[in-house]
Structure 1
């Protein structure tokens, strides 16, 4: 039984509709097919699906990926546990948090610190998706066996071994950090979030339960 229901906030539903209209190249679909095959294999074997989205600081791309993947999984009724982590702790970047809010997620902070713990909701009925910066093997990522989905080139190239990984799946994204404190900041964060939304929605729409 899934923990969350698939009723979406109206603004979020509009964002997802927009994401669904984005083209995904055949080259990119081949990258995503590796992730699709891993999830489908786990479903076919009746095993838990645990995805750990990893980038260096666990502050932007891996957070986007975890949240969009969990939302897509729940919407498509795929029993998946989506986590995220990094190789060092920083904070869930406020620019990324604000982008998710603009997308239609409801986001609250549990504590005011240098590394706040956020609760992210996609509907009134949903349990929160907990989001904060952490290393990939933090106790919050409660899975002994998982696919390490590498969302940035630095982490992918500098983490040759991740304990507990059943399969390492590179799904790299450009870092919106390059546009911090520029006029394009919000636009570029929203573009990256929307791209990840489109690709995670594609992944989970291809699966057979």
Structure 2
């Protein structure tokens, strides 16, 4: 897989980031789920869920897919929320800075086609509820990326596992001098952790 050069460089930076033992323990639950599915030759469906499906869950869907592809693991990566908003433009700007190529279709809640390699189909992202028809209806892990969604959605229909992997919301820095820096910091953290997860998966 030939990643775009800027993206390849950011992936190398992400792999060099330290991950605390506390975070590794959080991520181990996701590693175990993916490994079990791989061992059983079953489809791996991950649905990253956050309240508005606009920032953290979108970053996670994208980086989850790219990190899996980077290590040759075939997964289906989805995202959803409890309410529909839009893939936040600040988050879109951040993934562009990381070297993704992005095209946009529609207004209001547009679809974004996120390209990471000339050899691979784009990741299609837009804001939606977690049980949208675009997502797997069942047989998936619900990866809860924000505390609000985790605490307010005690039951996710169709999920065979529920795995909290929470991230701080970069929204707190909207319209400040630190906006771009903090969006990129969160994206880099998610990239680092998704790369760590899939680096631990052993293929048959």
What TM bracket, shorter-length normalisation? over 0.9
**Which residue is equivalent to 2:168?**
174
Q: Note the residue ranges of structure 1 that are not aligned, 5 or more in a row.
A: 1-5
* Partner residue, 2:196: 202
Q: Output one character per residue of 1:103-151: Cα deviation in whole Å (capped at 9) or x when no partner.
A: 000000022x110100000011210100000000101113421000000
Normalising by structure 2, what TM-score? Answer: 0.98
Ranges in structure 2 where 5+ consecutive residues have no aligned partner: none
Structure 1 residue 201 displacement after superposition: 0.3
The corresponding residue for 1:58 is 53
Task: Give the TM-score, by structure 1 length.
Answer: 0.96
Deviations 1:73-120 (A, max 9, x none): 111111110100000000000000000000000000022x11010000
Q: Please say which of residues 14-23 and 174-183 is displaced more in the overlay.
A: 14-23
Partner of 1:38: 33
Is residue 2:23 matched to residue 1:28?
A: yes
Alignment of 1:148 onto 2:121: no
Give the Cα–Cα distance (whole angstroms) in 2 for the partners of residues 108 and 125 of structure 1. Answer: 17
Answer yes or no: is the 8 Å Cα contact 1:147–1:168 preserved in 2.
Answer: yes
Instruction: Tell me the secondary structure at the aligned position of residue 51 of structure 1.
Output: strand
- Counterpart position of 1:132: 126
Structure 1 runs (4+) greater than 6 angstroms displaced: none
Question: CA RMSD of the aligned region, Å?
Answer: 0.7
Within the candidate set 9, 21, 24, 1:14 is matched to 9
State how far apart, in whole Å, the 2-side matches of 1:197 and 1:143 are: 26
